[in-house]
């Protein structure tokens, strides 16, 4: 019997006296990323650590042209989610849509009551997202039927995270929520003193999320207990990323921070600069991040020292996606850029007439990203 098998058997033999103990055991069993492997998962940034780096590398160094676009929407700021042969995304016209990825044919559409900029997460046969009317929804991914909904006190911009039986997200009502993903009942919520636009990341049962109250919060994912909170001296809009016991987060003052996941100690911070709305991508050799001045920067994860920078023609709200040695992001200048992730050299760009604030999603042969409509580019 392996060490992991022995651990799982011993944990399952513990007396399950409460729902909290069940959640705690589930988290210990299901969230194990410290070996440096980050399996792709159907949620924003590609895994629970929100690294934005794909475990499976798809070719994106060559642009072959536009495969298709979906025109029946106005503004797709949510990031598309691909699962099997379907793509799921929300729009500013209150619609949440499922398309066939081959030619972009609509399979179903759910009509909500607010803009949908929260990027979806998928688990089992359910797809989850929030909207600007403060409602968090779970739909049947096969037909778009509403399974349950939960009402918060304000807009939901944050993208959900699946942790075992929990679905976690933030709201502009200032709370971080954890709901039972099967029935929508609240398991816990934690109050902050600002909007929670940031999307939570998690590793080994520790959930990390930023707030516009300038604090980064680390919570026990099983019960919401605050493990630490750190004042980063600026509101936090973007989502943190976790890699090997380190948390990478950025603020509206332009500084990028690296913290110890266990203690919250700040290991390094960059100098202030242009505001950051883009979420970092983190790999073994680099931290990549965009800013409002239109720069994409690569930093050393050990020190924050700049490796290279690329200048786009407009602000970078889109969060970079890294696949192999390629990086892709969108810009307010209407272009989608592909760069060499190691050097920052531009490989190609695709011009639209849109403002590109959605973050890219990549699958075999196709790159998907939102603007005023959804684009599917043929890449290799």
pLDDT, one tens digit per residue, over 118-172 is: 999 999 999 999 999 999 999 999 999 999 999 999 999 999 999 999 999 999 9
| Residue 256: per-residue pLDDT | 98
CA distance linking residue 227 with residue 217, whole number of Å: 8
At which residue do the structure tokens 């889109």 appear? 318
| Residue 55: per-residue pLDDT | 82
pLDDT tens for 91-107 read 999 999 999 999 999 99
CB 316 within 8 Å of CB 295? yes
2, 140: one domain: no
CA distance linking residue 257 with residue 255, whole number of Å: 6
24, 36: one domain: no
Domain that holds residue 24: 1-30
248, 344: one domain: yes
CA distance linking residue 194 with residue 127, whole number of Å: 27
pLDDT tens for 41-63 read 899 999 999 999 998 888 899 99
pLDDT tens for 171-201 read 999 999 999 999 999 999 999 999 999 999 9
Average the pLDDT over 321-337 and give the result.
97
Closest CA to 247 of 37, 42, 51, 79: 51
263, 279: one domain: yes
Average the pLDDT over 283-300 and give the result.
97
367, 300: one domain: yes
159, 213: one domain: yes
Q: Supply the CATH number for residue 222's domain.
A: 2.130.10.10
Q: Write the DSSP string, 139-156.
A: EETTT--EEEEEE-SS--
333, 185: one domain: yes
79, 10: one domain: no
Domains: count for the chain: 2
Checking if the pLDDT of 2 tops 50, the result is no
> Which residues sit opposite 351 in a β-bridge?
335
CB 297 within 8 Å of CB 288? yes
**Nearest 5 degrees, angle CA 301-CA 303-CA 307?**
70
Three-state DSSP class for 321? Answer: strand
23, 35: one domain: no
| Residue 274: per-residue pLDDT | 97
At which residue do the structure tokens 């949510």 appear? 78
Q: How confident is the model at residue 38 (pLDDT cuts 50, 70, 90)?
A: low
Helix (H) or strand (E) holding 287: strand 287-290
24, 44: one domain: no
CA distance linking residue 143 with residue 121, whole number of Å: 16
Checking if the pLDDT of 264 tops 90, the result is yes
Instruction: For residue 173, give both structure tokens.
Output: 């009502």
19, 66: one domain: no
107, 10: one domain: no
């Amino acid at each position: 019997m392996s060490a992991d098998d022995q651990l799982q058997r011993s944990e399952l033999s513990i007396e399950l006296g409460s729902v909290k103990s069940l959640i705690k055991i589930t988290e210990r069993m299901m969230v194990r990323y410290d070996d440096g492997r980050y399996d792709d998962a159907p949620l924003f940034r590609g895994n629970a650590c929100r690294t934005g780096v794909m475990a499976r590398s798809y070719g994106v160094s060559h642009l072959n042209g536009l495969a298709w676009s979906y025109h029946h929407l106005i503004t797709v700021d949510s990031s598309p989610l691909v699962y099997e042969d379907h793509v799921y995304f929300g729009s500013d016209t209150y619609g949440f849509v499922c398309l066939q990825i081959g030619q972009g044919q609509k399979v179903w559409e759910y009509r909500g009551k607010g803009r949908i900029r929260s990027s979806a997460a998928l688990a089992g046969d359910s797809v989850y997202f929030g909207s600007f009317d403060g409602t968090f929804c779970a739909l049947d991914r096969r037909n778009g039927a509403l399974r349950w909904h939960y009402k918060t006190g304000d807009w939901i911009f944050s993208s959900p995270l699946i942790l075992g039986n929990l679905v976690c997200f933030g709201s502009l009502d200032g709370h971080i929520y954890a709901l039972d993903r099967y029935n929508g009942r609240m398991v816990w919520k934690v109050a902050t003193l600002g909007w929670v636009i940031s999307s939570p990341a998690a590793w080994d049962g520790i959930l990390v999320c930023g707030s516009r109250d300038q604090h980064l919060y680390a919570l026990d994912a099983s019960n919401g207990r605050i493990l630490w909170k750190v004042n980063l001296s600026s509101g936090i809009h973007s989502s943190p990323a976790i890699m090997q016991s380190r948390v990478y987060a950025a603020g509206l003052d332009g500084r990028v921070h690296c913290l110890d996941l266990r203690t919250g100690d700040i290991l390094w911070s960059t100098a202030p600069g242009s505001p950051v709305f883009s979420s970092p991508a983190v790999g073994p050799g680099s931290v990549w991040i965009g800013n409002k001045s239109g720069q994409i920067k690569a930093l050393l994860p050990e020190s924050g020292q700049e490796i290279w920078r690329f200048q786009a023609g407009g602000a970078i709200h889109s969060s970079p996606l890294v696949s192999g040695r390629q990086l892709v992001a969108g810009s307010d200048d209407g272009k989608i850029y592909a760069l060499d992730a190691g050097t920052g050299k531009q490989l190609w760009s695709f011009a639209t007439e849109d403002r590109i604030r959605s973050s890219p999603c990549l699958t075999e042969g196709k790159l998907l990203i939102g603007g005023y409509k959804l684009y599917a580019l043929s890449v290799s």
